[in-house]
Structure 1
Amino acid sequence: MLGTYPPERCSPPYGSCARGDSGAEPYLATHNFVLAHATAVEIYKRKYQSKQKGLIGIVMATTWYEPLTDSPEDRLATERLLAFDVPWFLDPIVYGDYPPEMRQLLGSRLPTFSPEERRKLGYKLDFIGVNHYTTLYAKDCMFSPGCPLGQQSHSQHALVAVTGERNGIPIGPSNPMPMPTFYVVPDGIAKIVTYVMKRYNNLPMFVTENGYEQGGDGYAHVEDWLDDQGRIQYLDAYLTKLAEVIRDGADVRGYFVWSLIDNFEWLYGYTLRFGLHYVDFQTQERKPKSSALWYKRFLQSLHEAQ
């Protein structure tokens, strides 16, 4: 919608691209995405699952949202924005149609599913993957004239503004991470897992990505990357919150930290590092960061507790 990501298709007022239609193409692309998923699931379940005994699911990139204020408008805007996020993809896959919150706003801009497509969607998921890093504030723009819409694509058509600050104060204790929308808010992972659990009848979940990126002017030497105390604090806090919701009944089957090694981030290249292990991109030499040693001890303690 904004033209930020490849293939850079968009239209005014959302962005300035050589071609594209921000009002229609995001919904057509998502529709094709959902149908491609349904086709893959049908093939796997009909031809391979009984022999391989594998599981097939889908991974969702998630952000948790909190109302900017306690007003009814901002609370409803938050619910609306959440529906324009994960349920945009998962509601059709689990329930056979797009979220009613989206239908009410978009009408005919949302495609419909044919009887044959609904049949394919009947092959249900075995699990939901949850990628989660950050939490943001949501502010209503439906009843607020002149409200500046946020720079996240789905928030535009949801008529919601997103921000990481309230009255100049970040939503997390600070914003040490260089990505502009990444804040340390451990409660967010508990709340998004609970949201997915309740909306989708506690289908098995895996946290397929959760992590902390380093980057910026404060990393001049290798030692600066290796002593990643911020990542340790992040992982410790998020894992603690995740353990709480598991104890409360969320069927979370596994957790994957992002990432084992520093890697190429598709919009940021080699300028950001998410890895537990430092990689010299010239020599390919790898060195464990402090977080790798911490995470090893953490896993050993879990094993010993069993």
Structure 2
Amino acid sequence: MPLPYLGGWANRDSAGWYADYAVLCARRFGDRVTRWATFNEFSVFTLFGYALGWGAPSVSDRGEHLKVIHHTNLAHGAGVDVLRDLVPGASIGAVHSFQPCRPADPAPENVEAAALFDELWNLCFPDAQILGHYPPRIARAIEPHVQPGDMARICRPVDWFGMNHYAPLFAQAEPGAVWGCGFGAPPEGIPRTDIGWPLQPSAFHEALMQATARYRLPIYVTENGYGTKSPEAPDAQGIIMDRERLDYLQACIHEMVRALKDGADVRGYFVWSLLDNFEWGGGYGTRFGIVHVGFETQKRTPKESAKWYSTMIGGALGRAS
């Protein structure tokens, strides 16, 4: 029977199903793959799928969302244990969507909404997995789903913290919403991309320093990039001038270097993405690539951001050698 009909992540048995999947992956790839992430962006598929109703399975229920948070955490812990047992020398972590969460305006209800949204988006997964407890606003609500020994099963030793970062989040109170809060608009004066994401590279430094102080793990920035609805087609000379992306990446890397100087242990950085691709939320209509893909011809054309990035990392490697 397909797993969604068995309750999906809302079924506590899903942690065991995930462990079985981890065994299969470890046995198939463990002789060649040493770096492993248990999950990518826990908060996105759980919050969108079980609280906001935006993604599969389109549920908006606080109780179901709490179950899913806890069962996914249990699955993470089970996956770590499988990899430790079956892949000698494995380097294991998880990838979190990690963005500073701010109130849409200074109203007290929005300040509280931002604090709650921060726990739902940023903290309820890494806090449980690395610190061994849930953040305070979530802890009491999730208690009925936590059985004796669960937190020890979740909090397994990991080697690194994976961070996907794009922009700060702005939250507001929404009395009719499942959690009484939701996404708000950025304040006036904060520029946005044409897909509506705030442009504030200084938030990247803030996120790196927060993760450093809270989790004390090496950090790999597994996604950072700039998306647009523009087709960004080559001009008559074959050049694709994506100035906004280039400026954003340059500013974010500057903020990462600043965080390194301030004590963040950043071990790796990956631009999202190398190629224009099928974005799960935006399909082919949103482009993040530093290399343009003609989707009908599959022709690849480096954008100006790719040329700048190539030069930049080449210089960095030269200085390091």
TM range (shorter): 0.7 to 0.9
Q: Is the 8 A contact 2:83 2:90 kept in 1?
A: no
Alignment of 1:45-194 (within 5 A): 45-49=84-88, 53-69=89-105, 75-104=111-140, 106=141, 108=143, 111-115=145-149, 117-139=150-172, 141=173, 157=179, 159-166=180-187, 169-170=188-189, 172=190, 174-178=191-195, 180=196, 182-194=197-209
Pair 220,205 (structure 1): closer, same or farther in 2 beyond 3 Å:
closer
Higher helix proportion (structure 1 or 2): 2
Instruction: Give deviations 1:91-138, integer Å, cap 9, x for gaps.
Output: 11112232122125x365x621432x3343342111110001011333
**Aligned to 1:129, what secondary structure does the other structure show?**
strand
Kindly provide the CA deviation profile for residues 204-250 of structure 1, in whole angstroms up to 9, marking residues without a partner as x.
1111000001215xx47443992101100000011101111111111
CA contact (8 A) 2:160 2:218 kept: yes
In structure 2, what residue type is equivalent to 1:102?
I
Whole-angstrom distance in 1 between the partners of 2:176 and 2:267: 37
> 2:59 is matched by which residue type in structure 1?
R
Q: What is the CA–CA distance in structure 2 between the aligned matches of 1:297 and 1:220, rounded to whole Å?
A: 21
**Aligned runs of 1:238-277 on 2, under 5 Å?**
238-277=252-291
Q: Partners of 2:147 and 2:315 in 1: how far apart?
A: 49
- Report how far residue 87 of structure 1 moved: 1.4
C-alpha spacing 1:252/1:232, structure 2 compared with 1 (3 Å)? same
Matched with 1:24 is 63
Distance change >3 Å, CA 247–CA 113, structure 1 → 2: farther
- Choose from 34, 47, 56 the match for 1:6: 56
Contact 1:45 1:123 in 2 (8 A): no
Q: Is the 2:186–2:198 Cα contact (8 Å) retained in structure 1?
A: no
- Alpha-carbon contact 1:148-1:161 (below 8 Å) kept: no
Q: Contact (CA 8 Å) 1:88, 1:99: kept in 2 or not?
A: yes
Instruction: Rate the CA distance shift 1:238–1:198 in 2: closer, same or farther, 3 A.
Output: same
Q: 1:195 aligns to what?
A: 210
- Name the SS of the counterpart of 2:125 in structure 1: helix
Do 1:194 and 1:245's aligned partners in 2 also have CA atoms closer than 8 Å?
Answer: yes
Matching residue's letter, 2:255: K
Quote the Cα distance in structure 1 between the aligned partners of 2:99 and 2:176: 17
C-alpha contact (below 8 Å) 2:101/2:170 kept by paired residues = yes
Correspondence 1:209-224 to 2 at 5 A: 209-216=223-230, 219=231, 221-223=233-235
Shift of 1:78: 3.4
- The answer to whether residue 251 in structure 2 is matched with residue 237 in structure 1 is yes
Q: How many residues align?
A: 268
Query: Where do 5+ consecutive residues of structure 1 fail to align?
Result: 11-21, 142-146, 151-155
Q: What secondary structure, in the 3-state scheme, does the structure 2 residue paired with 1:270 have? A: coil
Distance across 2 between alignment mates of 1:69 and 1:160 = 13
CA distance in 2, matches of 1:84, 1:214: 27
Query: Normalised by the size of structure 2, how large is the TM-score?
Result: 0.76
The separation in 2 between residues aligned to 1:187 and 1:149, in whole angstroms, is: 32
Deviations 1:260-280 (A, max 9, x none): 101100121101110011111
Q: Call closer, same or farther: CA 1:225–1:100 in 2, change over 3 Å.
A: farther
**TM-score normalised according to structure 1 size:** 0.79
RMSD between aligned alpha carbons?
2.4
The corresponding residue for 1:36 is 75
Residues 189-198 or 232-241, more deviating: 189-198
Distance in 2 (alpha carbons) for counterparts of 1:249 and 1:100: 27
CA distance in 2, matches of 1:190, 1:262: 26
Question: How far is 1:176 from its partner?
Answer: 2.6
Aligned partner of 1:23: which letter? R
Look up the SS of the partner of 1:294 in the other structure.
helix
**What is the percent sequence identity of the aligned residues?**
30
